[in-house]
Structure 1
Amino acid sequence: MESEAILAARDDALALFRAGVAAADPYLAVKDCLSADRDRLAIRLDINDPGRQRLGKWPKIHLIAFGKAACAMARAAEEILPEPLWAGRGIAVTNYENVAVLNRSDVFGAGHPLPDAAGLDAARRIAEKAGRTKAGELVLTLVSGGGSALIPCPVESVSLTDKCEVTGFLLASGATIDEVNCVRKHLSQLKGGGLAKLAAPADLHALILSDVLGDDPSAIASGPTVPDPSTFEEAIRILRARHIWERLPGTVRAYLQNGARGQAPETPKPDDPVFEKTGHTLIGSNAISLKAAAQTAEQLGYRTVIYSDHLCGIARNAAEQWVKTIAANGQIRQPTAYLAGGETTVRLTGNGRGGRNQEMALAFALAAEKHGLDADWVFLSGGTDGRDGPTDAAGGRVDAGSPARMRAQGIEPEALLDNNDSYHALQTSGDLLFTGATGTNVADLQILLIRPKT
């Protein structure tokens, strides 16, 4: 049976995670950035500087929202934008779990993390709406994490099935999110500045909730409203370096090769005229959520250390390195919260079920056992969107007793980790983290609460 101290720490870890998620509330973030009177709209350009604004008397405003926070963001915009300024109904595309009814926008549920036909239909509706805009009007675009999968709009010669196959190969190879985005942009009509290109010559402004470390707008939802510095040649190099080029559908190889030869249009670059009337505002990020979690930890009496604000790499490797770092620091003398934010990856070697956060939690528990982490500890790794990989869990929350609880149920956790079956391992020990869909997405949070052994 777990000690009262461990049970309390498990509750504290969840409280810190919830504080981080709350700090990324998309509805409030949009409310803070938009204000309007009867015929004028003010858009904040910097959430830390209320004086920096983009002001305009646009005769019509087109609302387009996509991502896991699309409905919450669009609801806030609907409450702010005066009815006479609306250019028809808005469009909001989100994952099925976050679908909600809106008053002035049509809502479309779509597949995530795997794109589906519903997302393709919604993406085409967005492309059609953007293409109907006129000079002097505004396209107000609300962007949040998950947009890459939710609005798939492949180039005409590539099918959605082929594009999904490419993404699957990349993810299974351990490709970084930047590498995945580079390839996806060069197979898409909307990503990599494609939406801005379709909307020109209208004005465009994007309010962006970042799920990407470093908050590079060209990486968030694969950057549909901003310039793309990557090239066809880079996409091909990535696919070759990951040893998947020869496995790609022929349509994909042919299109990328045509692009490298200048026979297919490149994604728009920073000097492209389509960006002369565009702008964006970062309204939420992993860094903001990490800060909120740290403040909550301090309120609960923990000494707080930011272990990493850019945690990446292979999930199980990152977990073991974290354990080794803490173990090397010597004896724990006071309750301490080590916090991290980031987005790791999983290298698929098995056919199990799980996600990067579940895999990291399981790997942490096994590494702590292996390296003899001599303290009372709880480790939580969770996706702020409430969904980790193709599962119903947000991640995992483990402690020193987790491996023993798994073995008591007749399973061997090391074997499940090797089979990428972290979901079932954590399920047997009661360590899955369930939050339900949160309506936001600012990547992942990791929380290690540790104190001297009682």
Structure 2
Amino acid sequence: MSLLADQADMASIRQDAFNIFQAGIAAADPYQAVKRHLVPELFGSCSKVHLIAFGKAACAMAQAASEIIPAGMLADRGIAVTNYENVTGIDNVDVIGASHPLPDAAGLNAAKIIAERVRNAQQNELVLVLVSGGGSALIPYPADQITLQEKIATTDLLLASGATINQVNCVRKHLSRLKGGGLARMAAPARLHALILSDVLGDDLSSIASGPTVADSTTYADAIDILKAKGVWDQVPINVRQHLEQGMLGNIEETPKPGDDVFKNTGHTLIGSNAISVNAMLQAAKNLGYETKLYSDHLCGEARTVGPTLVAQCIEGRLQKAGALGEITLQNKPMALLAGGETTVTLKGNGRGGRNQEMALAFAIAAEQQGLTGNWAFLSGGTDGRDGPTDAAGGIVDRNTIQRMVQAGANPTELLENNDSYTALKTSDDLVNTGTTGTNVADLQILLIQPAP
């Protein structure tokens, strides 16, 4: 094969991977999801509707809802809180920009406005809550005696420790007035219904945006155990430790649990998820002529080990699926191995990057070291368009990635060890840049393999 033909094939397979990724993002379009699920029957005999939206998809969701809520029923103006990059103007809705992944003062002020609005809702009124990923950071409302900076410090420690999203949310719930069912408690006795776009694998409603409208089964003791298990308990601000200890002793009210009366008038509708996006990718890959296989619908673990594990299984020619889904046998035809999930990164260095970029870099290094043959491309990206504290959604690597890095004077292994995947992938022109997407249903992975001739 000529060099030009080889380059054309590589460009083609990389474009296929990106198109499949975009199909997954499109399936999580929040505007269309609200349009499909917000039915007139939901408003019933309510005299007023209080529209509250928060998360990375808040603007698109609020726009759709404002077009559906019957004329004259909207109480005051709606409120939508989203990350700064996703702020857009909406008629009859006050849009507030706030920081993500670490909260800021703008988010705190927005949370206070939401709390006041919800507390004022009356028994014959509906509080319509539109929830999407990122809500935990965007509406911080620390419990008494805890400052926003102390909560930020605690969240920062957890994120750097490699804690899972469920572990982070457990702690957040017990440091917050809104999370862990707190918003539902404030809304009672008004009716409350939430439309939820899930960024959590398995779609546990109590974990999405830290579950502000649903019951919480975790406890103060659980939060303390997580901080100790991750080795950060002694680094957490003293006020946070004291608050959690007082809660464990029963001196501070627990989050509302399943069966609590505050949930008698609440309801929820799941309108989008990672699983829906993975299914859309499977169909898109099939339409492009690939033999499609689901590698995992719950991809998790350390990003830098998940990538090499996938490479090793490709080399062996058999891919063990997650759970009890059986095995995949690689065939002598173009194949698409697809996954959805959310891995973690334990910070060891001071570089830049995110879990998707780290996984892509680790995959490329392992593929080079282990000799993965054929024409292949691997893409890992966040559906929100932002991977970690960077402007990239993730990374896309191929069999020439490491060569490009080395020729540019970069050391891929050293950069990985320093958690500097962003620099590595930028050097080889392998960053995935989509811009902010206005949605968030966790991460998506695409591995395309064309067998060697």
TM-score normalised according to structure 2 size: 0.95
**Separation (CA, whole Å) in 2 of partners of 1:35 and 1:320:** 46
Is 1:10 matched up with 2:9? Answer: no
Note the 1:75-86 alignment, pairs <5 A. 75-86=63-74
Runs of 4+ residues deviating >2 angstroms: none
Is 1:302 matched up with 2:290? Answer: yes
Note the 1:122-133 alignment, pairs <5 A. 122-133=110-121
Provide, for residues 43-63 of structure 1, a one-character-per-residue CA deviation record: whole Å limited to 9, x for no partner: 4xxxxxxxxxxx611001000
Q: Alpha carbon RMSD of aligned pairs, Å? A: 1.0
**Alpha-carbon offset, residue 332 of structure 1:** 4.8
Structure 2 portions without partners, runs of 5+: 319-329
Conserved in 1, the CA contact under 8 Å of 2:102 and 2:155?
no
**Alpha-carbon offset, residue 35 of structure 1:** 3.2
SS of aligned partner of 2:162: coil
* Percent of residue pairs bearing the same amino acid type: 62
| 2:396 equivalent in structure 1 | 397
| 1:191 equivalent in structure 2 | 179
Picking from 107, 121, 126, the partner of 1:119 is 107
**Separation (CA, whole Å) in 2 of partners of 1:332 and 1:118:** 53
**Separation (CA, whole Å) in 1 of partners of 2:222 and 2:211:** 17
**Separation (CA, whole Å) in 2 of partners of 1:146 and 1:339:** 24
Letter in 1 for 2:55: G
Letter in 2 for 1:16: I
Provide, for residues 221-264 of structure 1, a one-character-per-residue CA deviation record: whole Å limited to 9, x for no partner: 00000000000001001111111111110000000000000011
| 2:324 equivalent in structure 1 | none
* Equivalenced residues, count: 438
Note the 1:31-46 alignment, pairs <5 A. 31-36=35-40, 42-43=41-42
**Separation (CA, whole Å) in 2 of partners of 1:173 and 1:380:** 25
SS of aligned partner of 2:12: helix
Conserved in 2, the CA contact under 8 Å of 1:332 and 1:375?
no
**Separation (CA, whole Å) in 2 of partners of 1:34 and 1:446:** 30
**Alpha-carbon offset, residue 430 of structure 1:** 0.3
Is 1:217 matched up with 2:221? Answer: no
Conserved in 1, the CA contact under 8 Å of 2:391 and 2:433?
yes
Note the 1:248-267 alignment, pairs <5 A. 248-267=236-255
| 2:190 equivalent in structure 1 | 202
| 2:418 equivalent in structure 1 | 419
Note the 1:1-400 alignment, pairs <5 A. 3-36=7-40, 42-43=41-42, 56-329=44-317, 332-400=331-399
**Separation (CA, whole Å) in 2 of partners of 1:168 and 1:371:** 35
TM-score normalised according to structure 1 size: 0.95
**Alpha-carbon offset, residue 433 of structure 1:** 0.3
Letter in 1 for 2:24: G
Letter in 2 for 1:433: V
Letter in 2 for 1:383: G
Letter in 2 for 1:389: G
Provide, for residues 358-394 of structure 1, a one-character-per-residue CA deviation record: whole Å limited to 9, x for no partner: 0011011001111111121100000000000110000
**Separation (CA, whole Å) in 2 of partners of 1:209 and 1:269:** 22
Conserved in 2, the CA contact under 8 Å of 1:13 and 1:448?
yes
| 1:46 equivalent in structure 2 | none
Provide, for residues 103-134 of structure 1, a one-character-per-residue CA deviation record: whole Å limited to 9, x for no partner: 01100000011111111111111111111111
Provide, for residues 317-374 of structure 1, a one-character-per-residue CA deviation record: whole Å limited to 9, x for no partner: 1111111111111675110000000000101000000000000110110011111111
**Separation (CA, whole Å) in 2 of partners of 1:34 and 1:348:** 41
Letter in 1 for 2:149: T
**Alpha-carbon offset, residue 136 of structure 1:** 1.6
**Separation (CA, whole Å) in 2 of partners of 1:367 and 1:132:** 57
| 2:323 equivalent in structure 1 | none
| 2:441 equivalent in structure 1 | 442
**Separation (CA, whole Å) in 2 of partners of 1:288 and 1:29:** 11
SS of aligned partner of 1:84: coil
